[in-house]
Structure 1
């Protein structure tokens, strides 16, 4: 009898059984549901955002001190490795991110087990939600009001509230700036959506609860695809030209830095 052949056959059997066991384990871990957290790390052109404490220079040669950086994110969708989309329940899918009030993490509950490779979300509040009326906003209306994200109910939500002071070559004394961007009726809809690939898969199961770490660059608001000069107009609220440009810039300020897959059993 060829003992080498027997050894090779036994080795092949062991490897096959191990592979099957590994596959079974992979299937077993991809069950249940858990929490997905999204952390928003706010910065300015690669530096940490320190409200009222640091100055930042943009490509327009304007020197900014930022005192407020708040924005609304909404309508979250997670996309798995097969291209399937899980849409988070709409009535629970509106959040304020506020640097000054330490609201920098979003928690999505009861996410089905899967390997997620991309995330999609809105910047602002969509028309369908706003048209549900004040009663249809639930607790989010009060949250927005408490975080300076409302003009009034009739005027609607501020999708972005970006404030501080600046100087430039033509503005010697520190001057206040206010960038408030939102929709104003159906004629000026500045709600936008962002889709981002994850640098590594976010693994969700009854034992795995990932954290998606988002790097957010406030510099892109003025210094993005569209150049917005504060020295030309320091207060932008309802502007048919600049408001849509700012909304496009705001979609470019998000980047997924990394994904942390940790163990956590959701209760």
Structure 2
């Protein structure tokens, strides 16, 4: 075979045709050359054909829910230190501090199955960033109610963990005993003589943890995110169903003394009406 057939400048087709020409001639050469050309062309076309892969979008069995609390008095948003509100007993009062624990938030499905998220959240009305929390891994389905505690359950109430919202540095622990204050309202009010008196309500101890059950407008989680709005009304806390007056030595309670028992019972009963559902969006 001539050496020039192996020159790098000569294409593979030239080489093939030259090789065939050396062994065949005439019609046989032309036919075989055509067949080779068709085979090479078909091979190239096959290699160039794109393989289309249709992506599969994974489906999730879970979504998430953000829960937001608004704090009001008679339907009016509470303004710390300056807003004046009037309770059912006719006491004009102000709010300098309002905090409370919400724990063990539970979602209840339309089939009555429940999901307890075992959380502990400190709501500080003076800081709106603390008035919401997000529940992840909420199972798909339709929900009809929520349940939560006001307070900290006995499993954690006496541990005083230095973590998150349970950190004692948040100012929600007793100075006289190991445990958390479940609800704290501090401020002033106009007393029955027209003067200004201190108002201090510190509600707590294990027996007074309160379960709140709230029916909600049915909503569905379908691997998406929704937001639930709940309201806390301080005037309802002091007036429905039990009317609580700040006068007559009733302005300071710390859940410690025998005289606190009647007040504790009234407060515990009133929490149920103070928390209400607004909407899901």
Give yes or no for TM over 0.5: yes
- Work out the CA distance in 1 between the residues paired with 2:254 and 2:193: 21
- Work out the CA distance in 1 between the residues paired with 2:164 and 2:132: 17
Partner of 2:89: 60
2:156 is aligned, of 129, 132, 135, to 129
Where do 5+ consecutive residues of structure 2 fail to align? Answer: 1-56
Post-superposition Cα deviations, 1:120-156, rounded to whole Å, max 9, x if no partner, equal 111101223325x345x743421xx333211148341
**After TM superposition, where is structure 1 displaced by more than 6 Å over at least 4 residues in a row?**
none
Does residue 242 of the first structure (1) align with residue 263 of the second (2)? Answer: yes
Query: What is the TM-score of this pair, normalised by structure 2?
Result: 0.72
Q: Is the 8 A contact 2:160 2:179 kept in 1?
A: no
- Work out the CA distance in 2 between the residues paired with 1:50 and 1:30: 44
Partner of 1:158: 181
Partner of 1:97: 123
Structure (1 or 2) with the larger CA radius of gyration: 2
Q: Is the 8 A contact 2:120 2:166 kept in 1?
A: no
- Work out the CA distance in 1 between the residues paired with 2:236 and 2:143: 27
Does residue 147 of the first structure (1) align with residue 175 of the second (2)? Answer: no
Partner of 1:228: 244
- Work out the CA distance in 1 between the residues paired with 2:115 and 2:236: 29
- Work out the CA distance in 2 between the residues paired with 1:153 and 1:112: 42
Distance 1:140 1:147, change over 3 A: closer
Partner of 1:78: 107
Greater RCO structure (CA 8 Å; 6+ sep) = 1
2:210 is aligned, of 179, 192, 208, to 192
Where do 5+ consecutive residues of structure 1 fail to align? Answer: 1-27, 261-267
Does residue 217 of the first structure (1) align with residue 238 of the second (2)? Answer: no
Q: Is the 8 A contact 2:73 2:234 kept in 1?
A: yes
1:241 aligns to what SS in structure 2?
Answer: helix
- Work out the CA distance in 2 between the residues paired with 1:138 and 1:47: 33
Q: CA deviation at 1:29?
A: 11
Q: Is the 8 A contact 1:30 1:114 kept in 2?
A: no
Q: Is the 8 A contact 1:38 1:211 kept in 2?
A: yes
Q: CA deviation at 1:43?
A: 0.6
Query: What is the TM-score of this pair, normalised by structure 1?
Result: 0.76
Q: Is the 8 A contact 1:30 1:113 kept in 2?
A: no
- Work out the CA distance in 2 between the residues paired with 1:211 and 1:153: 39
Post-superposition Cα deviations, 1:197-217, rounded to whole Å, max 9, x if no partner, equal 11231x2232x1111100110
